[in-house]
Amino acid sequence: MSRTHQGNSKWYRALILSVVFIAAAMCESSPTAREAAPWSVRMAASVMQRHPEPWTLEAPKKPKWEYTYGLVLKAIQEVWLVTGDSSFFRYVESYYDHFITDDGDILMYRLSDYNIDRINPGKVLFRLYRETGKAKYEKALRLLRSQMATHPRVSDGGFWHKEIYPQQMWLDGIYMASPFLAEYAQTYHEAELFDDVANQIIVMEKHARDEKTGLLYHGWDESRAQRWADPETGLSPNFWGRGLGWYAMAIVDVLDYLPADHPRRPEIIAVFQRLAQAIAAVQDQETGLWYQVLDQGSREGNYLESSASCMFVYALIKGVKHGYLEAQFRAIAQKGYDGILATFIEVEADGLVNIHQTCAVAGLGGDPYRNGSYEYYIHEEIRSNDPKAVGPFILASLEFESLEKPNH
């Protein structure tokens, strides 16, 4: 069982075992039976019913090796770890068997693209390999690791977001690669890799943190060549909710693997504590949620956004549970979780769970050009059941469900 869920209490495991049949017989389960299950199980089962083939999670007509699939499937893998229900495991494995050849090659993946997003699906492979012993999973892990061994970097060691975005670090990229590399370092005893992982988090804060608010800007261009980059600082102009959510999740996940005696562990915990204070300061007091553009909640067009809210709740409650944050942050996380359930979650008559109001995508540069303005962020497409909200909702739910007393 993963470190995250080792402390599950007996009552919770008994509850889980009483409802795991829901995933095994999703179509036949009654709405009443579904309602007895924890939210993590209900959402995971809903994903599986909506998308019987996991490669259709986001692009139903075109299989993709993409970070979004890794995000949701990692969450479902965690549900399997808690429930022991093999239907979750089989669902996750079917995606990876679709893409990974017996030689360990990954279909739809090219190392030479140096796209940091493509590392994220690799997080699931550690557990798959341990459980199945299939050599192809380990070969795929080593392939992804080899990308990061030669991935281009800024001058102080931070990874570029992609080769097509030269000299740029984005908050998103810290989540895509750092937890993967930290688990790789632990699994394959590559101790020096822990230093690199720690440096990614610290370099990002060094360049992107705003001293006034404590929030981090979405991107930083060392070259100052991008139109979105401030000519003096190289920073993009706004605080994007999900961007900071990626960064917050990255830190708590890296700390699962970073050795307790690593010299930079206290420094990383301090980064997270500063970040948590900044996140709490921009929480909407009425709903407990967070806005698409974090510090401009009252501005016309801004909206409460589900993926960022789920990511913050996950990071904050996990931070409290592991002792990185003071107890006061539990109430902040609980208020956020209650807000998610009240505002974004909808349950259909047949028991399927939906999550609404997610920013479909946001980035910087590219073609058509994304300038990082306020108007850009608020006008991107808004979706329901987007993987970038579904995965963090499951993860946040698991964290709450593993507490000693049920909240819902």
Q: Which residues are catalytic?
A: 172
Instruction: Write the DSSP string, 249-270.
Output: HHHHHHTTTS-TT-TTHHHHHH
- Contacts of 211 by beta carbon, 8 Å cutoff, 6+ apart: none
- Burial (0-12, 13-18, 19+ Cβ within 10 Å), 176: buried
Q: Are the C-beta atoms of 52 and 29 separated by less than 8 Å?
A: no
Q: Which DSSP helix (H) or strand (E) runs through 160?
A: none
User: How far is residue 71 CA from its own chain's centroid?
Assistant: 6
- Contacts of 390 by beta carbon, 8 Å cutoff, 6+ apart: 43, 47, 72, 75, 355
- Burial (0-12, 13-18, 19+ Cβ within 10 Å), 314: buried
- Residue whose entry in the numeric block shows the structure tokens 């992804």: 144
Q: Are strands 358-359 and 345-347 parallel, antiparallel or unpaired?
A: unpaired
Tokens of 239: 């605080």
Q: How far apart, in Å, are the Cα atoms of 277 and each of 70, 139, 327, 329, 393?
A: 29, 41, 13, 9, 21
- Residue whose entry in the numeric block shows the structure tokens 């009483």: 18
Q: Which DSSP helix (H) or strand (E) runs through 219?
A: strand 219-221
- Contacts of 241 by beta carbon, 8 Å cutoff, 6+ apart: 290, 291, 292, 293, 294, 305, 307, 308, 309, 359
Distance between CA 87 and CA 294 in Å, rounded? 38
Q: Are strands 345-347 and 353-355 parallel, antiparallel or unpaired?
A: antiparallel
Span between the terminal Cα atoms of the chain, in Å: 24
Residue type, 144: L
Q: Are the C-beta atoms of 120 and 172 separated by less than 8 Å?
A: no
